[in-house]
């Protein structure tokens, strides 16, 4: 294309995209007006207005994210037709509702991502726009259908991967590659496993898949939302803007430590304890711990009833315990059956003694009258309640587990390893979360608490009735004005009470995050290789439909209880219903750095093929040996140097080194520059240490440096060794 032709095309494209922004602004104004009208309540029932307000609020959010990169490309068909591709879809309502901008998720947009010179998908050209704000700065064309037709088709991708990193992950909607697009649009109703090495974009692909599923299955998914589970809060914060940037906000972000609402994780387990808690064998321990609390009295427990003394003996308690266990109900709910047997035996014994000589079973009415009096007496007998609490206590998950951990005797009774013992039972760890969640189902609800809540609801209803009575007026005093509506014309008292108690105006994300029993239509699990067997039980409960996108890399597993194979973790829950896809291209880590990381990978996971880097950065990774005294100054030098550059940086090291973070805290994150401190100490932690070091080495997108005090690990001997302080990114061999 000639220079003049390019300029003419650029002016035309700028004009078209400017028109799209005018239409976007008009659509925003329309939605805002409709929203304001709905809030004012013009017409419809309150429930209908509430639904409309929420729908319009979601639409406003969808339109608000489109300012940046509204339109990023164009497809030209062989017949000469043009289709513009963007973040959202826009339609010309004056021209038969024709699309003027295709949503990137629409089927008609797919060729933008998968068409190649060899397989052009009936397309002649793919054009990619580079924008600044609302203005098209320039564009590149890729002519499809002939091998030599590219005019910079990779320019947008290379610009994106070479750009300095910011505070959070960016979407890749304008640069999705063919292998990524096939996964994003995969029509698979069950569990999809996406495995890929560092930098392959598996996380961002999973998030774009969520956006695609919400687009194609919105009616099924949006009322229950999507759960995204990540390894740590920093990671979730890093990825948190991707889905909102694609117009999707009904997504809950959590770590596995957040899956029990209100729980605060304050401690960390030893690898041995984490492995035990993560295994399904812990289920037997939990059940045994509950059974151990269902006790028989060592000596008969005396109860004063109807003026006589009756006793709860071991034989009676054992009968009651067998009946309660046979009910199949959770522990707290089965207490009713236990109590009924105990109550029956005590009242029968008391009646027999009280009525000796004057009351027989044939006098059924008198017998039942006496029983009713005795039942009422037992219900108000604190000593009887205390006896029940001793034999069949009401338990909460936290109470049971904390008391188990702090009692060697209870651990032995439950058949648990003493490695679970700890002094502070309430010092919760991430590995405790699935156990606490499991105990919610094993223990069941506290019916007395539920009954108290029901009494509170009825009290509120009675209060509302009194309020309505106060509002009563004589209709004659209102002069038969038909325009007046009385409160009782609108609400019954119980309806009003339910509105006071149950009306929940929180957004879906807030409600879902606070509700342990909330179920999601789809769940994304990132760094899934770290999840234990027990973690998967929790997540499967959260998604009964078993619709998952699972993202991970088995070579990066550091958890002692994590996955060694996807089949082991998933087959028990979704036999034959899970699919596996892999990503093989590394978009983040330049070839110079990946060569170093691949040497380490070959040592601890030789069966794993490292991903192929799509680019080189021209900067060789370096290493430098320092003394203990020199180490702090060397770290400060790196931090000072990187502070003067555009982009982000991090210092990763073993525990106890000031100014460093653990590799586990950087999982899933990326930085322009990374300094790895004392890799020999990181590696000394066995297989877990090797995975940690692999993670650390693959966080950098441009520059990697290594400071070591001891001998450099064999896998890293290919680094350029420096012996004098040097600027990271431009070192020369000594």
- Position 726 confidence tier, pLDDT thresholds 50, 70, 90: very low
Tens of pLDDT, residues 306-342: 999 999 999 999 999 999 999 999 999 999 999 999 9
Q: Nearest CA to 282 among 425, 427, 428, 419?
A: 419
Rg, C-alpha atoms of the chain:
33
pTM of the model: 0.82
**DSSP letter for each residue of 638-658:** HHHHHHTSSS-EEEE--TT-T
- Which letter does DSSP use for residue 554 in this model? G
Query: By three-state DSSP, how is residue 553 classified?
Result: coil
What average pLDDT does range 403-410 have in this prediction?
98
Q: Going by DSSP bridges, is the β-strand pair 700-708/671-677 parallel, antiparallel, or unpaired?
A: parallel
Decide if 200 contacts 483 (C-beta within 8 A): no
Q: Nearest CA to 251 among 588, 667, 549?
A: 549
Q: Going by DSSP bridges, is the β-strand pair 90-92/82-86 parallel, antiparallel, or unpaired?
A: unpaired
Evaluate if residue 732 carries a pLDDT over 50: no
Decide if 71 contacts 13 (C-beta within 8 A): no
pLDDT at residue 254, as a whole number? 96
Outline where 543-625 has alpha helix (H). Answer: 566-570, 591-604
Strand partners, 302: 311
What average pLDDT does range 368-388 have in this prediction?
94
Percent above pLDDT 90 for the chain: 64
Evaluate if residue 413 carries a pLDDT over 70: yes
pLDDT at residue 246, as a whole number? 83
pLDDT at residue 505, as a whole number? 56
Tens of pLDDT, residues 97-141: 789 999 999 999 999 999 887 789 999 999 999 888 899 999 999
Percent above pLDDT 70 for the chain: 86
Distance CA 18, CA 100 (A): 12
Q: Report CA torsion sign: 89, 166, 729, 665.
A: negative
Q: Kindly state the helix (H) or strand (E) to which residue 282 belongs, with its residue range.
A: helix 282-292
- Position 43 confidence tier, pLDDT thresholds 50, 70, 90: low
Q: Kindly report the average pLDDT of the chain as a whole number.
A: 87
pLDDT at residue 156, as a whole number? 60
Distance CA 290, CA 393 (A): 10
Distance CA 521, CA 255 (A): 18
pLDDT at residue 483, as a whole number? 44
**DSSP letter for each residue of 419-435:** GG--S-TT---TTHHHH
Residue in the block written with tokens 């239509």: 521
Q: Tokens representing 125?
A: 């050209």
What average pLDDT does range 74-94 have in this prediction?
91
Provide φ and ψ at 64, rounded to 5°. Answer: -70, -25
What average pLDDT does range 526-536 have in this prediction?
96
Evaluate if residue 449 carries a pLDDT over 70: no
Residue in the block written with tokens 């998720």: 105
């Amino acid at each position: 294309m000639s220079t003049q032709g390019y300029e003419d095309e650029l002016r035309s494209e700028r004009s078209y995209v400017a028109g799209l922004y005018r239409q976007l602004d008009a659509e925003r104004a329309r939605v805002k007006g409709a929203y304001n009208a709905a809030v004012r309540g013009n017409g419809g029932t309150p429930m209908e207005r509430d639904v409309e307000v929420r729908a319009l609020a979601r639409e406003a959010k969808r339109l608000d994210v489109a300012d940046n990169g509204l339109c990023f490309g164009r497809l030209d068909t062989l017949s000469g037709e043009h289709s513009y591709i963007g973040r959202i879809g826009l339609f010309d309502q004056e021209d038969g509702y024709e699309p003027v901008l295709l949503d990137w998720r629409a089927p008609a947009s797919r060729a933008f991502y998968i068409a190649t010179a060899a397989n052009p998908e009936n397309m002649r050209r793919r054009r990619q726009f580079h924008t600044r704000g609302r203005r098209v700065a320039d564009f590149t064309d890729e002519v499809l259908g002939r091998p030599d037709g590219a005019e910079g088709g990779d320019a947008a991708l290379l610009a994106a991967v070479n750009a300095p990193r910011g505070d959070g992950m960016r979407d890749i909607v304008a640069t999705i590659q063919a292998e990524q697009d096939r996964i994003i649009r995969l029509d698979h109703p069950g569990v999809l496993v996406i495995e890929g090495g560092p930098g392959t974009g598996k996380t961002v692909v999973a998030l774009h898949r969520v956006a695609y599923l919400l687009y194609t299955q919105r009616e099924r998914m949006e009322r229950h939302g999507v759960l995204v589970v990540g390894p740590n809060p920093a990671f979730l914060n890093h990825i948190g803007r991707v889905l909102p940037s694609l117009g999707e906000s009904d997504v809950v972000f959590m770590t596995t430590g957040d899956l029990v609402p209100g729980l605060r994780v304050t401690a960390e387990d030893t690898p041995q304890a984490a492995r035990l808690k993560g295994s399904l064998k812990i289920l037997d321990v939990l059940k045994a711990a509950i059974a151990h609390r269902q006790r028989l009295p060592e000596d008969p427990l005396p109860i004063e009833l109807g003026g006589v003394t009756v006793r709860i003996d071991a034989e009676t308690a054992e009968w009651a315990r067998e009946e309660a266990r046979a009910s199949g109900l959770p522990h707290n709910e089965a207490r009713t059956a236990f109590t009924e047997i105990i109550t029956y035996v005590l009242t029968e014994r008391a009646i027999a003694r009280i009525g000796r000589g004057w009351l027989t079973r044939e006098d059924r009415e008198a017998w039942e009258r006496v029983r009713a009096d005795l039942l009422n007496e037992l219900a108000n007998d604190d000593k009887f309640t205390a006896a029940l609490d001793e034999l069949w206590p009401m338990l909460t998950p936290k109470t049971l587990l904390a008391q188990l951990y702090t009692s060697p005797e209870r651990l032995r009774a439950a058949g648990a390893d003493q490695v679970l013992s700890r002094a502070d039972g309430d010092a919760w760890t991430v590995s405790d979360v699935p156990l606490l969640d499991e105990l919610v189902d094993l223990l069941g609800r506290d019916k007395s608490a539920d009954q108290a809540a029901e009494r509170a609801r009825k009290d509120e209803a009675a209060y509302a009735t009194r309020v309505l009575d106060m509002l009563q007026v004589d209709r004659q005093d209102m002069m038969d004005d038909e325009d007046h509506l009385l409160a009782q014309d609108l609400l019954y008292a119980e309806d009003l009470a339910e509105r006071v108690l149950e009306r929940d105006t929180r957004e879906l994300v807030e409600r879902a995050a606070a509700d342990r029993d909330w179920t999601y239509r789809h769940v994304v699990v990132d760094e899934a290789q770290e999840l234990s067997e027990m973690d998967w039980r929790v997540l499967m409960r959260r998604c009964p439909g078993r619709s998952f996108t699972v993202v991970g890399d088995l070579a990066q597993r550091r958890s002692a209880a994590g996955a060694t194979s996807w089949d082991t973790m998933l087959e028990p829950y979704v036999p034959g219903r899970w699919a596996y896809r892999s990503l093989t291209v590394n978009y983040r880590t330049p070839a110079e750095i990946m060569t170093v990381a691949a040497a380490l990978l070959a040592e601890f996971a030789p069966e794993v093929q490292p991903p192929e880097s799509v680019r080189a950065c021209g900067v060789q990774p370096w290493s430098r040996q320092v003394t203990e005294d020199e180490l702090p100054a060397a770290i400060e030098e790196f931090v000072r140097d990187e502070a003067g550059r555009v982009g982000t940086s991090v210092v990763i090291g073993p525990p106890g080194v000031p100014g460093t973070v653990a590799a586990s805290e950087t999982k899933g994150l990326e930085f322009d520059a990374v300094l790895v401190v004392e890799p020999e100490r990181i590696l000394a932690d066995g297989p877990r240490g090797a995975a940690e070091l692999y993670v650390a080495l693959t966080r950098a997108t441009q520059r990697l440096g290594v400071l070591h005090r001891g001998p450099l690990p064999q896998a890293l001997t290919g680094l350029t060794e420096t012996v004098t302080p040097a600027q990271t990114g431009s070192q020369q061999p000594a």
